[in-house]
Amino acid sequence: MLVQMNYKLVPIIFFILQHVDGSARIDPLVDTKVGLIRGLRAANGEYSMFMGIPYATVNIVNPFGPSIPHPGFNDTFEAFDDSAICPQIEEFHKTITGNLDCLHLNIYVPNSATSKNRLPVLVWIYGGGFSIGFSGRYLYGPRYLIRHDIILVTINYRLGPYGFMCLDTPEVPGNQGLKDQQLALKWIKNNIESFGGDVNEITIFGESAGSASVDFHLHCSNEKLFDKIILQSGSVIGPWVITEPDRAAPLKLAAYLGFATEDTAEALSFLSSVDTNLIIAATSDLSLSFGACVEQEYENVDRFITENPININVPRAKNTPILIGYNNDEWLANNVNKEPEYFDGLNIFRDNLANYFSFDNEELQEMEQIVRHFYNGDEPLDVNAKRNFINFESDFYFNHPTERTISRYLDSGATNVFYYVFSYVGGRNFVKDRHNITVGGAAHADEIGYLFDISYMTEESTLEDQLIIDRMTTLWTNFVKYGNPTVETSDIIPVIWPPVTEDKRHYLDIDTDMKVKQRPFSNRMAFWDLFYKLNYKYVNGYRENLIRQPMCENCIK
């Protein structure tokens, strides 16, 4: 039976009573601006789950273009299913899966949320190189975070060719996946009050490509839909983030699938009618990759990335509390388990410099020697150089871009920037566990296992792992609530974590023995400080923007 309640007096949550196996179950029902949404009570009874809520729809005529806001519900929407996944080759079983009815979000609400006790909101944007990822509880279970009285939201967005094809046309301008995220944030801003959320306290956070996405939202000049940000191992100036678009991608995909044409519009029309699994398979077979790009300007077409980020300041950083960091052995998993022959003749120093700097041959040879000697001395480039390769790529892709990003924020007037390095190695290190890595420190994405209740990690946490879970979730949710991760010390958080300043680069080393330290990897970071100071004009993306506007030199140096 329906419990009669006055919606105007109690706008947050009312309840449906259902008889299940002879007993009453209370399922939450929420009246939102887009209609009634019914969720599920968690098994432990401590929170409610509203899963698979559609916030946008994909245009079936042009599935590679921008999505549109979901129109809402005429009937009660049953928010019981978090299995939606956008088209991709998912990482766990390497199977092609997903469909375009995937622009959904999941909301997890503690029982403490009411109209008189609105809770801060934390929104998760997953990583995966803009090509894989999904928001469901299989990987991102909410239990650890929401026990701290915050509302957690996890969102899906399109990936690969559907999310990041960039053709420099009004129909497919690029960054569709980022624009999906923006629509999700608008939905949250407009509706989260109905779930007991505080619209003035919304923090967005992400890891890797999700972290870069968060940084893009900070850079974007569109409406600001959040108040704080958390960046985990990724920012917009990571050399892997902005890509040079393959504008012939539709022609290549269409030809591979049996439709040869030299007309991009014809190719897109054909591809729009093809099963998404075939598109994803063809993308993989052709080794096509898609990522964030600088968009061209068209009338009546919203742009998300208007300039290469290396050329612009970040004015929004001034009034935005920021928590940012990385793991202490980021690129470990990409090298540690490779066979010895993989390293024979491998020159990652030259290859990376060639990919991300516009050196001529003589300059490239000189710079490659400098970098190689710094990391590897005069030793051969073989399996014995594995550790040096890991250090180099960790610094090049994540560590030093984070350092430069912090400098950019400070140059833009930011005063509340909290810097961390995650160093803990335990049973819930996500990537090391998946790849059975038993050496080294914390690899890229390892921290996820201490923020989220990963469904397949079913063994009871050790006391040490539980301590890190408690520390991570307390620090993160303190930041969500107060803009400060350490309001006071406690047995779990024994130190005060100070923000960085122009003069002192404090960071929190998150480990069993948690300490505030100064300047992580200081020698390696000093090397790259000097390298970029001397070579910033050669960074890809610099020259193409030099004519159009003055260079933000500090953004690179």
DSSP conformation class of 237: T
Q: Out of 48, 131, 135, 208, which one is annotated catalytic? A: 208
- Is there a catalytic annotation at residue 330? yes
154, 140 Cβ separation under 8 angstroms:
yes
Closest CA to 186 of 118, 114, 142, 123: 123
From residue 458, alpha-carbon distances to 216, 352, 366 in Å are 35, 39, 51
Element (H, E) at 105: strand 104-110
In total, the chain counts a number of residues equal to 557
Indicate left, alpha or beta for 187 from its phi (over 0: left) and psi (-120 to 50: alpha). alpha
Element (H, E) at 369: helix 361-376
DSSP conformation class of 2: B
Dig out the tokens for 63 from the structure.
């599935």
* Orientation of helix 361-376 relative to helix 386-394, angle to 10°: 110
- How far does the chain reach from its first CA to its final CA, in angstroms? 65
CA distance 552 to 542: 10
311, 552 Cβ separation under 8 angstroms:
yes
Tokens 């939450």 belong to residue: 28
- Is there a catalytic annotation at residue 502? no
Core vs surface per residue 431-458: b (16+ CB within 10 A) or e: bbbbeebeebbbbbbbbbbbbbbbeebe
What residue type is assigned to position 448 of the chain? I
CA distance 502 to 412: 12
Strand ranges for 320-444 from DSSP E: 322-327, 417-422
CA dihedral 392, 398, 400, 406 (to 10 degrees): -170
Q: Out of 295, 330, 403, 447, which one is annotated catalytic? A: 330
From residue 61, alpha-carbon distances to 84, 103, 166, 299 in Å are 21, 16, 17, 20
CA distance 443 to 508: 17
Contacts of 146 (CB under 8 A, 6+ apart): 46, 47, 108, 109, 110, 152
Backbone angles phi, psi at 261, to 5 degrees: -160, 155
Element (H, E) at 48: strand 47-54
Residues forming the active site:
208, 330
